Amino acid sequence: MRIVKTIAEIRDIVGTWRKSGLSVGLVPTMGYLHEGHQSLIEKADAQNDKVIVSVFVNPMQFGENEDFDSYPRDIERDSAVCQKSGGDVIFNPEISEMYGEYFSSFVNMTTLPEGLCGKSRPVHFKGVCTVVSKLFNIVCPDRAYFGQKDAQQLAIIKRMVSDLNFNIEIIGCPIIREEDGLAKSSRNTYLDEEERKAAVVLSRSLSIGREIIENGEKDAEKVIHAIKEEILKEKLAKIDYVEIVDMDMLRPVKEINGSVLTAVAVYIGGTRLIDNFII
Ligand code: AMP
């Protein structure tokens, strides 16, 4: 697996592929790849001639008291996972390669980043939009792959691509889970044994919410209440948010009609985990 550190080299490689008429898929990640990432890489491999996986822990999308320093990193392991999933090249730039000394341009968005995760992570989506725009401009892929696990991020990227006319197709991919239902995440490595058991409360409470909606409940408050009640049974859990929002602008809905996103963020001990479903 070729690991490329510079923008010039990536542009060279993509340029050569383009000359041969090959299509290119991009899978942006922060590394420490698991089966969730693998599913994105496999899909990219199935739909494109060549696949670039970016591995970059982007400092701009972490708040001051967040886990940028402790975020797990292992490029050798990532390289092996990437290879077996069908990736062709890993783009793994240094921070200085992405953000030069005088860096001062940002991609910001109104409304969509304001609720859900944006409330407790106010700088997060500005960092995400900026780095993803840069990756899009560096790689110029035909398609880019994002997980439904980060539902707000996926909605924001789709909006950004439409608003700013990036000529890239955004492909959303389903959430990959552990056997007990916990959504796979690089941050699951922070959990000790007891916390790992407790973390299943996210998917369990969402399943309860889904069942209530499937049984015909239209009142969003009642569904949210049932989900919160289930989460609060778990003593290691602390709720950041439980929300039901519309799919277009991610605004809270009162009545469940049409497509809605039900999303939760919960601290298990010191680890903040997210999960969601669309119905
Ligand atoms: P990350 O490395 O956490 O920034 O994630 C990189 C990409 O992988 C994002 O588009 C995530 O939504 C996606 N992803 C992370 N975990 C999962 C999962 N469990 N299932 C599907 N996609 C995922």
Nearest Cα residue to atom 15 of ligand 1: 36
CATH code at position 253 = 3.30.1300.10
- Answer yes or no: do 113 and 223 share one domain: no
Phi, psi of 211 (to 5 degrees): -60, -40
- Answer yes or no: do 138 and 207 share one domain: no
**Ligand 1 binding pocket, CB closer than 6 Å:** 29-30, 36-37, 39-40, 146-147, 149-150, 173, 175-176, 183-186
Residue 196 lies in a domain: yes
- Answer yes or no: do 165 and 234 share one domain: no
- Domain endpoint, select from 173, 198, 227: 173
Residue 43 lies in a domain: yes
Structural domain containing residue 30: 2-173
Residue 181 lies in a domain: no
How many domains does the chain fold into?
2
- pLDDT score recorded for residue 57: 98
What mean pLDDT comes out for the span 155-174?
98
What mean pLDDT comes out for the span 8-33?
98
- Domain endpoint, select from 173, 197, 220: 173
- Domain endpoint, select from 147, 173, 199: 173
Residue 207 lies in a domain: yes
Over residues 48-66, the pLDDT tens digits come to 999 999 999 999 999 999 9
- pLDDT score recorded for residue 176: 98
In the 8-state DSSP scheme, what is residue 186? Answer: G
34 catalytic, yes or no? no
Which ligand 1 atom lies nearest to the CA of residue 27? 7
C-alpha gyration radius of the chain: 19
- Answer yes or no: do 61 and 115 share one domain: yes
Per the document, the length of the chain is: 279
The mean pLDDT value of the chain amounts to: 98
Catalytic residue among 34, 37, 124, 225: 37
Residue 179 lies in a domain: no
- Answer yes or no: do 164 and 209 share one domain: no
For the chain, percent of residues with pLDDT exceeding 90:
100
- Answer yes or no: do 214 and 150 share one domain: no
Residue 81 lies in a domain: yes
- Answer yes or no: do 27 and 119 share one domain: yes
What mean pLDDT comes out for the span 80-96?
98
Q: How far is the CA of 146 from the centre of ligand 1 (A)?
A: 7
Residue 209 lies in a domain: yes
- pLDDT score recorded for residue 58: 98
Over residues 101-112, the pLDDT tens digits come to 999 999 999 999
At position 126, the amino acid (one-letter code) is: K
What mean pLDDT comes out for the span 127-135?
98
Q: How confident is the model at residue 202 (pLDDT cuts 50, 70, 90)?
A: very high
Residue to substitute in 150, 187, 275 for testing ligand 1 pocket (most ligand atoms within 8 angstroms of CB): 150
CATH code at position 150 = 3.40.50.620
Helix (H) or strand (E) holding 243: strand 237-246
- Answer yes or no: do 228 and 109 share one domain: no
Distance, in Å, from the CA atom of 141 to the CA atom of 275, rounded to the nearest integer, reads 28
What mean pLDDT comes out for the span 27-54?
98
Q: How far is the CA of 237 from the centre of ligand 1 (A)?
A: 22
- Answer yes or no: do 166 and 212 share one domain: no
- pLDDT score recorded for residue 223: 98
- pLDDT score recorded for residue 128: 98
Sequence-distant (6+) residues with CB within 8 A of 8 are none
- Answer yes or no: do 89 and 110 share one domain: yes
Nearest Cα residue to atom 17 of ligand 1: 36
Angle at 159 between CA 241 and CA 244, to 5 degrees: 25
In the 8-state DSSP scheme, what is residue 176? Answer: P
- Answer yes or no: do 110 and 78 share one domain: yes
- pLDDT score recorded for residue 209: 98
Q: How far is the CA of 149 from the centre of ligand 1 (A)?
A: 6
Distance, in Å, from the CA atom of 139 to the CA atom of 141, rounded to the nearest integer, reads 5
